Structure 1
Amino acid sequence: MKFILAFFASLSSTLALDVRLDIANTFLSPDGFNRSVIVANGTYPGPPILAMKGDVLNVFVNNSLTDGTMRRSTAMDFDGIFFNTSNWWNEGSDFVTSCPLGPNMSFTYNVPLGEQTGTYWYHSQLSAQYVDGLRGPLIIYDPEDPFLDLYDVDDVSTIIEVGDWWQIATPVLLAGYENTGVVPVSDSGTVNGVGRFQGGPEVPFPVFNVTQGKRYRFRIINESARNVFTVSFDQHNITVIETDGVPTQPFVTDSIQMFAGQRYSVVLEANQTVGNYWFNAPFVGGSPANNKAGHQNASLTRAVLRYDGAPAEEPVGPFGLGPENGTGGSIEPFLVPLNPTAPPDPDVMLTFNLSVVAGRALWQINGVSYLPPLTPTLVKVLGGGDTQAAYNETENTFILPANATIEVNFPPSQDDEAHPFHLHGNNFWVIKSNFSEEVNTVNPIVRDTVAVGSAGTTVRFRTDQPGPMFFHCHIFWHKQAGLASVLLSGPDQVRAEENPSPEWLNLCSAYRDLPEDAQ
């Protein structure tokens, strides 16, 4: 891997990488239960998109969905990628920056990676469609990675994707949620697309192969739609070196709690006796009382760390849940960016009070439940939408000045679970973590997805790249129930620089012409 990075470092020109994602229905059984799914290129998770710093991705998405029991349109989001003022129309957030892509249609997303490096992922943004399987990793390698001396291996074999899995199609689950207000409980958890459910077949666990004495950069992505995973390797500490694409001062821990949408890179040194060890990924997400099928067993989400020379068998011993001491996985307050910056004082301060209507699938920010508009935010901006009057109240759109520092404060919530709020097209400083009482304005961690919950959370970000930024809970059941907003900065600057393609301009009219069962 280091030879490959050195080779790329010798290249001075930006590479344009063509990627093809064929979105189609097929039957898969990630946890041993066979069902119709929505996937890219026939696999769950989808194929890894691997790029280098500075590359431009041309992602050709072809929609061949036919199964009418699920959504047949789609919208591709590249989680954590910034885009910029002249490229927002490629960002892929349905009804924020574009309209969905209907069946038997194709669209090429132009994705400039700029100076970003690290661990990202792609998924359907439409409704809760990625629950049905449309999700996969996006890795941006850095030829000049400041941590190159800390690891020996960093390739496709060291990508770890944890996710939640349901055996029933999303529209049925959403209907049940809307009728009861109870978020569906997953049947299982998966590691790199493989899992088990209680009482189901003993699907072979994934295997991560290592050689004693070598050091591995594992890129761990929580691609779930709800579940919080706490990951660890038996008898091995790990060193965190990246948080949501941001290089992090090395921090040694025994476990990491990961919310939906969050990513970490960790270095594991294969310094134990040759053998087999568990990778643990137990999760929480929903009350056991709602586990009506009796399928959910968090201890079944795991893989095997296998040393060269060890027998091809599972580790001896029970399915544990990982370390019981240390941080308990709540490491966010201890993390510091590799190159920390003190966030500027805020120019604009917002308060987001989260609430849910009892007994209903209706979440609100400041008393407003987000509903996606028929005309996307970006289309309205290009048409002159500079004032609040251009946006319906239910669009929950906040118009912000360009080149300003914005602070968003989430007061302590009465809700008993932490909501992973994700900001599209930007990072933020975590001034106050939900897992600490400290207010850090000196060297706070920088990321794009943060837990918001009972202890309160505060973030700050800059609007140096104006545009419509979707800001939502990454529990997609909650997002679908209204827990979302749009932070629109510098609409006049967006309009001055945006130059969307004719293909993008045609997406909305094509989508509106679709029959309801094809949307």
Structure 2
Amino acid sequence: MKLLAAIFPAFLALLVAAQNFNDVTLEIINTDLAPDGFTRSTVSANGTFPGPIIRATKGDTLRVTVNNQLTDPTMRRSTTLDFDGIFFDSSNVYNEGTPFVTTCPFGPNASYTYVLPLGNQTGSYWYHSQLSLQYADGLRGALIIYDPDDPQADLYDVDDDSTIWFLGDWWHNASIAMLESYQATQIIPVADSGLFNGAGRFNTGPLTEYAVSTVTSGTRYRMRIINASARSDFTVSVDNHTMTVIGADGVATEPHTVTEMLIHAGQRYDIVLTADQPVGNYWINTILSGGNAAHNLNLNATLGRGILRYEGAPNAEPTTPMTLGPADPIILNEWELTPLDPVPVPPFDVELSFVTSMTANASSPSGFNSQWNINNVSYVSPVVPTLLKVLGGATSADDFNVTENTFVIPANKVVQINFVPDPNNELHPFHLHGGNFWVIKSNGSDIVNEVNPIRRDVAAAASGGTILRFTTDHAGPWFFHCHIFFHMNAGLASVIAQGLNETRTDVHPTEAWDNLCDAYYALPC
């Protein structure tokens, strides 16, 4: 025993030393910014929009320290970060960042360090505030995991910070006021502008400079397109150029060439773009759609765009018209994508049907006059986070409030979720935290693919009867919600609680995590 006691600390030290830690610090502050020319107070990471790029390499363990220094009362002053698309094993679920599911937020003058072992994941991801509608105020940025042995490396020549295309909708009003407006009117506020890499314009606004993506003739670029919107879709194209899709939501795909793609809130696509046109300036068309533009006369969908500039071209805007994209586009259809490395799709053990609906209810528990529902239940965040309830002994759905909309499923099962078709329903980009799913049936297609469907973590569910399938092979409660955050805040969310007994065995939170809820509920109102 003495020998073991002497050896174990040395072994542990070697184990820790073998890990490749990647340390990042984000200072969350209120900063006046004007990405589209209109100056407003924002919630920002390190004072910028987008926030700083978090870069990692396959196999790294990320340690992201978040220091909350927020002071502006027009927006939420507590915060918590979500790392969209990053997998978490059951032992690390408490670092996942979903408020009142896996953690509590933390207030001003407090800090928390998220530890994220990245394992074998590679690809394009992003981070954002998961609290309320706070990321619409600016707290969002790219997270890229590079693969030194990328099997697709022969398809491109350049893949660096300059090849990230970060798209987002932008509002001139702060999030608390917008949620209050939504509560009162049942109308989601329409964005004032769309932004490409943190720049854009709005009707009657100043002629701010568009963000430029610089290329060299004859060179192939891996462009990483991230839709970091709180509401909006973007239709993306590049004048006179094709785009070859090689990845979706961090999963490599067989090359598939298109000239136009629709990308929903939260989704990411990796494309190869070849600089094969005459030297010049070309419009990168990123056309925002989300709501009736008549509800916000600032919005001009054609003004949220970028410039593809060849080396040697003048420092000027393209002389060609701003269009909505190619006249005869080759459109990206999700169901036409196939994975580079197909994972066999197992038959399902558990089948769930999800009916999404909106009802007018002035006395809804969420406080919204228009509440969104899954199977007639509108999600309301609990006071005690789901994970704390599980660690405290919760074993079945009856141990959670009905409004937590928690589906309890044993470990190591295969779950299929069928979204019931409804031609009157809106489109909802549903996102699964902590893992991803096979898209067995895409919205807009009648094809059911149980052989080689793509895997991703955000998929459109609307009138077309989307079918998703995933395994419960990592225990813990995982948020599953619409990535239109107005809908999410009005109840369009659920929790997939996987393997509760295994969660209690595997999860051993840190003292820092244990203290979060007491500190949060001690904050002044």
Contact conserved, 2:26 with 2:65, CA < 8 A, in 1?
Answer: yes
Alignment partners' CA distance in 2, 1:107 and 1:48: 19
In the TM superposition, what is the alpha-carbon distance from 1:419 to its structure 2 partner? 0.5
Alignment partners' CA distance in 1, 2:396 and 2:56: 39
Q: For 1:331, which of 330, 333, 339 is the aligned residue?
A: 333
Contact conserved, 2:249 with 2:269, CA < 8 A, in 1?
Answer: yes
Alignment partners' CA distance in 2, 1:85 and 1:132: 31
Q: Please give the secondary structure, in 2, of the residue aligned with 1:86.
A: helix
Contact conserved, 1:239 with 1:250, CA < 8 A, in 2?
Answer: yes
The residue type paired with residue 300 of structure 1 is L
The residue type paired with residue 185 of structure 2 is T
Contact conserved, 1:73 with 1:101, CA < 8 A, in 2?
Answer: yes
* 1:194 maps onto 2:199 in alignment: yes
* Deviating 4+ runs (over 2 angstroms): 324-328, 358-361, 413-417
In the TM superposition, what is the alpha-carbon distance from 1:255 to its structure 2 partner? 1.2
Q: For 1:320, which of 299, 320, 323 is the aligned residue?
A: 323
Q: For 1:30, which of 21, 31, 35 is the aligned residue?
A: 35
The residue type paired with residue 481 of structure 2 is H
In the TM superposition, what is the alpha-carbon distance from 1:416 to its structure 2 partner? 4.7
Query: Percent of pairs identical after alignment?
Result: 56
Alignment partners' CA distance in 2, 1:396 and 1:365: 8
Alignment partners' CA distance in 2, 1:122 and 1:113: 14
Q: For 2:213, which of 208, 212, 226 is the aligned residue?
A: 208
Residue of structure 2 in register with 1:306 after alignment:
309
Q: Please give the secondary structure, in 1, of the residue aligned with 2:91.
A: coil
Contact conserved, 2:67 with 2:111, CA < 8 A, in 1?
Answer: yes
Q: For 1:243, which of 244, 248, 259 is the aligned residue?
A: 248
Residue of structure 1 in register with 2:444 after alignment:
435
Residue of structure 1 in register with 2:20 after alignment:
15
After TM superposition, the score normalised by the length of structure 2 is 0.94
In the TM superposition, what is the alpha-carbon distance from 1:237 to its structure 2 partner? 0.3
Q: How does 1:474-493 map to 2 (within 5 A)?
A: 474-493=483-502
Q: Please give the secondary structure, in 1, of the residue aligned with 2:373.
A: strand
Residue of structure 2 in register with 1:173 after alignment:
178
Residue of structure 2 in register with 1:3 after alignment:
none
Structure 1: runs of 5+ lacking an equivalent:
1-11
The residue type paired with residue 346 of structure 1 is F
Contact conserved, 2:423 with 2:464, CA < 8 A, in 1?
Answer: no
* 1:399 maps onto 2:399 in alignment: no
Q: Please give the secondary structure, in 2, of the residue aligned with 1:130.
A: helix
Alignment partners' CA distance in 1, 2:204 and 2:322: 15
* 1:147 maps onto 2:168 in alignment: no
The residue type paired with residue 211 of structure 1 is T
Contact conserved, 2:440 with 2:450, CA < 8 A, in 1?
Answer: yes
* 1:513 maps onto 2:515 in alignment: no
Alignment partners' CA distance in 2, 1:514 and 1:327: 53
Contact conserved, 1:332 with 1:435, CA < 8 A, in 2?
Answer: no
Alignment partners' CA distance in 1, 2:327 and 2:383: 49
Cα distance change on mapping 1:437 and 1:327 into 2, 3 Å:
farther
Q: How does 1:367-406 map to 2 (within 5 A)?
A: 367-406=376-415
Supply the RMSD in Å over aligned alpha carbons: 1.1
Q: Please give the secondary structure, in 2, of the residue aligned with 1:176.
A: helix
* 1:354 maps onto 2:356 in alignment: yes
Residue of structure 2 in register with 1:9 after alignment:
none
Alignment partners' CA distance in 2, 1:379 and 1:490: 14
Q: Please give the secondary structure, in 2, of the residue aligned with 1:282.
A: strand
* 1:85 maps onto 2:87 in alignment: no
Q: Please give the secondary structure, in 2, of the residue aligned with 1:87.
A: helix
Contact conserved, 2:406 with 2:497, CA < 8 A, in 1?
Answer: yes
In the TM superposition, what is the alpha-carbon distance from 1:14 to its structure 2 partner? 3.7
In the TM superposition, what is the alpha-carbon distance from 1:341 to its structure 2 partner? 2.7
The residue type paired with residue 339 of structure 1 is D
The residue type paired with residue 465 of structure 1 is H
Alignment partners' CA distance in 1, 2:53 and 2:422: 37
Alignment partners' CA distance in 1, 2:123 and 2:195: 22
The residue type paired with residue 509 of structure 2 is P
In the TM superposition, what is the alpha-carbon distance from 1:506 to its structure 2 partner? 0.3
In the TM superposition, what is the alpha-carbon distance from 1:13 to its structure 2 partner? 4.8
Contact conserved, 2:98 with 2:130, CA < 8 A, in 1?
Answer: yes
Contact conserved, 1:188 with 1:296, CA < 8 A, in 2?
Answer: yes
Contact conserved, 1:333 with 1:435, CA < 8 A, in 2?
Answer: no
The residue type paired with residue 282 of structure 2 is Y
Alignment partners' CA distance in 1, 2:434 and 2:336: 25
Pairs aligned (count): 502
Alignment partners' CA distance in 1, 2:26 and 2:376: 39
Q: Please give the secondary structure, in 2, of the residue aligned with 1:194.
A: coil
Contact conserved, 1:199 with 1:295, CA < 8 A, in 2?
Answer: yes
The residue type paired with residue 404 of structure 1 is K
Alignment partners' CA distance in 1, 2:459 and 2:284: 24
Residue of structure 1 in register with 2:51 after alignment:
46
Contact conserved, 2:482 with 2:493, CA < 8 A, in 1?
Answer: yes
Alignment partners' CA distance in 2, 1:497 and 1:416: 40
Q: For 2:273, which of 268, 272, 278 is the aligned residue?
A: 268
Alignment partners' CA distance in 2, 1:305 and 1:317: 13
1:180-200 CA-partner distances (Å, limit 9, x unpaired): 111110000001111100110
